[in-house]
Structure 1
Amino acid sequence: MKITFPHIGNTYITAKSFLDDFGSEYVVPPFNTNKTLELGSKYTSEAHCLPFKLFVGNMLQAHEMGADTMLITGGCGPCKLGYFGEMLKKTAVEIGIKMDIITLEVPDQGMKELAARIKKVSGGSNYLNVAKAVNAAKNVAVQLDNLERLSRIKRARQLEKGSVDKIYRGFQTGILEVSGSKEILKFIRQTEKTLKKLPVNEKARPLKVGIVGEIYTTIEPYANFSIERMLGNMGVEVTRQVTVSGWIINDMLKKGLHLPVESEDVRESKAYMSSMVGGHAHHTVGNTVVHAKEGYDGVIHIYPLGCMPEIVSQAILPAVEENHQIPVMTIIRDEMTGEAGFNTRVEAFVDLIKKRREEHLNEQNKMLYGY
């Protein structure tokens, strides 16, 4: 068995940590590029969403590298991600390749079935070792998300443009040479120390923008044209509350153990959404409310073409925008989206919220000083 997994941001590091601890044989597919999308689009229809096309592209590229088993995550509710496992199996058969698909989610059979799936991946390790590896992978995911948050804060305040990107690119390349959860966590901490030492403009008051939407397009840099990096290098501090570690802790572990998972964003969404519609729709609406209450300058909503839960969110967001007086821009991504046009829209939005902040400050000065 040679295992692979699709690229979703830094999940390849969490997956690598998990498989390293079992001594499993695996391949990391090439990072997503136009070639990945072209390959996936060749074997899918126009009706398939961007994440699925990239999953197929990852599967085919990894198969060329010798992989015969693919690990993927599960979905929630009507979200198509919940069907990706079966869709990938069907696609593999149609293409004529051998690829076993293992979905790491809590199935109807409960945690015992999930543990059995993980045990299969682990080469028959006992349940105690499986539990240890899952916990270690969870810790890696948490520390990765913390590193990403620190990068976003530093990038908006860096004295030398591109200095954060240089460190982060070095981290993403270097981590492939590190093996096992302990060494990976050590490497993450070393990178964190390097970032913390980076000189910044302590007096900066950057614009603050929240990124909300479907989990794949908000996390995977190729799917959003590296919007976090782009905004950060424009001096904008970015926040993204939907994370890989959040999915592992809430949707995989807490859900499987029947522990409460309701969060602030889900509570805030209930004023607008009384029913569960699947995906991250509640998080999209709720986080927009939370960002507004925290004084953010704006929110960017991103999702792939045809994503039903986010179409529902988009229909609700104008009410949130009006009620909480926060600018919201929605960007829909598919294989026809051009990077230049995407960047132009983002730049125009930043100009808008910058002007809005300046006007707000001018109004405050008039009230305080009478001019």
Structure 2
Amino acid sequence: MKVTFPQMGTMEIAVKTLLEELGLEVIPPPKITQKTLDLGVKHSPEFACLPLKINIGNYIEALENGADTIIMGGGVGPCRFGYYGEVERKILEDLGYDFKMIIVEPIQNDWWGFYKKLKLLLTNISWFNLKQAWQRAWAKGTAVDNLAKTVNQIRAYAQDRKLAQEMYEQALTEIDAAKRIIEIEKLEQSYQTELKQLPQRQNFSPLKVGIVGEIYVVLEPAVNFAIEKKLGERGIVVDRSLTLTQWVKEHLYLGHFKDETKHEEIKEAARPYLQHMVGGHGLETIGETFLYAQDNYDGVIHLSPFTCMPEIIAKSILPRVSQDLDLPVLSITVDEHTGEAGVITRLEAFIDLLKRNHQKGEVI
């Protein structure tokens, strides 16, 4: 069995470790390129979400490289992600590929059902072996998320911003190669220290920008044009509202392990504008935007794929949130036709607006 999975941000580091620790041969799809996108667009429904199209491109490239089993997440609720797996399975079967697809649904107290899913992958797996593999993968996912948060906070202040990015990328490479949890923890601690000790700019007052939206577009640099890096190199402190480990806690485990205090805080913040779940991260987009305003952020960037229903709902509400809170919000919707030059132009205009507002605040 040769297993693959979709690309999404730094997810490969943790998922590859989990599967390899369970004794599987893993064939990750190549990093997302224009070829990946072209393959997905060619073989996917025109009005499908961009993430589905890229998933198809990922799978075709991985299957052509020898993979024979695809692991895909499932979902519940109004977001179309819930049936991605079945649609993708049908597309690939119609293309003539011979493969097995295992769709991992949210557990929802059905731990035995989850265990049986794993049995499709592994015929002789114990809970103990699964626990050990999960702990190593989780340690990597947590370390990567923690370092991403740190570099997004530190990069703007660094005298050499490109060096901060290079250190982060080197950390990812070393964490990916690490074999033991203690090694992973030491690497994270070491890079945390090095990043925080970088020479900093003096008398520097950076802008602060929060990023909200649909998780795939928020996490995948190939889709959002590496927006966190671009903002950081322009001297902006960035906070991304979504992380991979947070998504796993909420999506796979649902209420078992997620931070209920934070979840309730987001729901309460969104309540004046949106009182119920609309699928995906639509409610979180509104709530997190409100919280960024409370934390004195200068602006918020909202990222979403074209035709994403939960984020369309959020996008229709954000102008009122922006007006009520006097918080500039830039919504960027992406599909296969979105060009990097156009996104950068909008981003720079938004940054200019934030700088003017920031300077007015300093004068007052």
- Please give the range of the TM-score, normalised by the shorter of the 2 chains: over 0.9
Distance 2:202 2:299 in 1: 22
Change (3 A) 1:290 1:258: closer
Paired position in structure 2 for 1:204: 204
Matches within 5 A, 1:71-220: 71-106=71-106, 110-179=110-179, 183-201=183-201, 203-220=203-220
State the Cα distance separating 1:236 from its structure 2 match. Answer: 0.3
Paired position in structure 2 for 1:266: 267
State the Cα distance separating 1:255 from its structure 2 match. Answer: 3.0
Paired position in structure 1 for 2:301: 300
Paired position in structure 1 for 2:349: 348
| Deviation readout 1:327-352 (Å, 9 max, x if unpaired) | 00101100000100001100110010
Change (3 A) 1:267 1:138: farther
CA contact (8 A) 1:138 1:248 kept: no
| Pair 1:239 & 2:236 matched | no
Change (3 A) 1:129 1:267: farther
CA contact (8 A) 1:111 1:256 kept: no
Distance 1:138 1:54 in 2: 25
Distance 2:31 2:343 in 1: 21
CA contact (8 A) 1:70 1:101 kept: yes
State the Cα distance separating 1:183 from its structure 2 match. Answer: 4.6
CA contact (8 A) 1:73 1:105 kept: yes
CA contact (8 A) 2:145 2:244 kept: yes
Paired position in structure 2 for 1:2: 2
Tell me the amino acid that sits aligned with residue 132 of structure 2: K
State the Cα distance separating 1:196 from its structure 2 match. Answer: 3.0
Compare 185-194 and 265-274 and name the one that shifted more: 185-194
Change (3 A) 1:347 1:23: same
| Pair 1:282 & 2:283 matched | yes
Paired position in structure 1 for 2:18: 18
3-state secondary structure, aligned to 1:103: strand
Distance 2:26 2:180 in 1: 13
| Deviation readout 1:284-328 (Å, 9 max, x if unpaired) | 000000000000000000100000000000011111111111000
CA contact (8 A) 1:79 1:278 kept: yes
Paired position in structure 2 for 1:253: 253
| Pair 1:27 & 2:55 matched | no
CA contact (8 A) 2:140 2:175 kept: no
Paired position in structure 2 for 1:325: 326
State the Cα distance separating 1:75 from its structure 2 match. Answer: 3.1
Distance 2:102 2:202 in 1: 47
| Deviation readout 1:244-302 (Å, 9 max, x if unpaired) | 11111222224357995734222211221122111000110000000000000000001
| Deviation readout 1:111-135 (Å, 9 max, x if unpaired) | 2212222343345311232233334
CA contact (8 A) 1:214 1:281 kept: yes
Aligned residues with identical type, % of pairs: 37
CA contact (8 A) 1:300 1:328 kept: yes
Compare 122-131 and 44-53 and name the one that shifted more: 122-131
Change (3 A) 1:118 1:292: same
| Deviation readout 1:229-250 (Å, 9 max, x if unpaired) | 0000000011012111111122
Tell me the amino acid that sits aligned with residue 318 of structure 2: L
CA contact (8 A) 1:152 1:228 kept: yes
Distance 1:2 1:239 in 2: 37
TM-score using structure 2 length: 0.93
Distance 1:181 1:88 in 2: 35
Change (3 A) 1:352 1:161: same
Tell me the amino acid that sits aligned with residue 293 of structure 1: Q
TM-score using structure 1 length: 0.91
| Pair 1:311 & 2:312 matched | yes
Tell me the amino acid that sits aligned with residue 351 of structure 2: V
State the Cα distance separating 1:4 from its structure 2 match. Answer: 0.9
Tell me the amino acid that sits aligned with residue 12 of structure 2: Y
Distance 2:199 2:129 in 1: 42
CA contact (8 A) 1:30 1:58 kept: yes
